[in-house]
Structure 1
Amino acid sequence: MGLSTQDKMLIEQRVTNDAKSVGAAYLLWFFLWFFSAHRFYLGRPGSAILQIFSYFILVGFVWVLIDAFLIPSMVQQQKDDVRKRLTLEALTFSGA
């Protein structure tokens, strides 16, 4: 059994409420780039720590510049993850 339209609307509302902000991610990227704060904010602590360590071999500086283009897709992936989690919870709850 699938989800009703109301369930889907509630999930999308939760995704919108729980989603990270692209603007906030860019502000963190711009002002706190050396701490990889944008990656921590977007729920990627492993790659954030790796990026911090890579500054010592100069690769991290290029990586930070590339992140400027990757931030929107990272936010979208975070939204998709929240959507999947909420849909799974709704399906398991409605099936119980």
Structure 2
Amino acid sequence: MTLTTQQQILIEQRVTNEAKSTGAAYLIWFLLGGLGVHRFYLGRTGSGIAQLMLFIFGWITLPIFVGAFLLITLAIWVLIDAFLIPGMVQSHKEEVRRGLTSSALIMSSS
């Protein structure tokens, strides 16, 4: 079964309304990137926790110089995230679109 044009338009409107903002993701990344907050915002909880742990343990172990390596690793990861944010936002939009499409198909087949 396929969706009608009206259903497709409604899905795209909901995707636009429910999707995460690239601008907001970059703002969060700029202000709180080292804490992984931008990853929490984009639904990447596991890697957000990993970044947060690197930040915490990096600062705790900085006096014994282990923390420097953790913080450098985190800094590189956060810098790479600047290039990955658009793809993460697009991935979130696709997830929302898939969910709405499957719900619409289920409703139209009932």
TM-score by shorter chain over 0.5? yes
Helix, strand or coil: the match of 1:48?
helix
Correspondence for 1:75: 89
**Is the Cα contact below 8 Å between 2:20 and 2:89 reproduced in 1?**
yes
**Is the Cα contact below 8 Å between 1:42 and 1:78 reproduced in 2?**
yes
Helix, strand or coil: the match of 1:32?
helix
Cα offset for 1:21?
0.5
Correspondence for 2:49: 49
**Is the Cα contact below 8 Å between 1:42 and 1:75 reproduced in 2?**
yes
Q: How many residues align?
A: 96
Correspondence for 1:36: 36
TM-score, scaled to structure 2: 0.83
Correspondence for 1:86: 100
User: Following the alignment from structure 1 to structure 2, what is the Cα–Cα distance between the partners of residues 11 and 88?
Assistant: 10
**Is the Cα contact below 8 Å between 1:15 and 1:79 reproduced in 2?**
yes
Q: CA RMSD in A?
A: 0.9
Give the number of the structure with larger relative contact order, counting CA–CA contacts within 8 Å between residues 6 or more apart.
1
**Is the Cα contact below 8 Å between 2:34 and 2:74 reproduced in 1?**
no
**Is the Cα contact below 8 Å between 2:39 and 2:47 reproduced in 1?**
yes
Runs of 4+ in 1 over 6 A off after TM superposition: none
Look at both structures and tell me which one has the larger radius of gyration over its CA atoms: 2
User: Following the alignment from structure 2 to structure 1, what is the Cα–Cα distance between the partners of residues 45 and 74?
Assistant: 15
Unaligned runs of 5+ in 2: 59-69
* Percent of matched pairs sharing the same residue: 58
Deviates more, 1:49-58 or 1:26-35: 49-58
Correspondence for 2:3: 3
Correspondence for 1:12: 12
C-alpha distance after superposition, 1:29-74 (max 9, x if no partner)? 0011122111011011111011222342231111000000000000
**Is the Cα contact below 8 Å between 1:11 and 1:83 reproduced in 2?**
yes
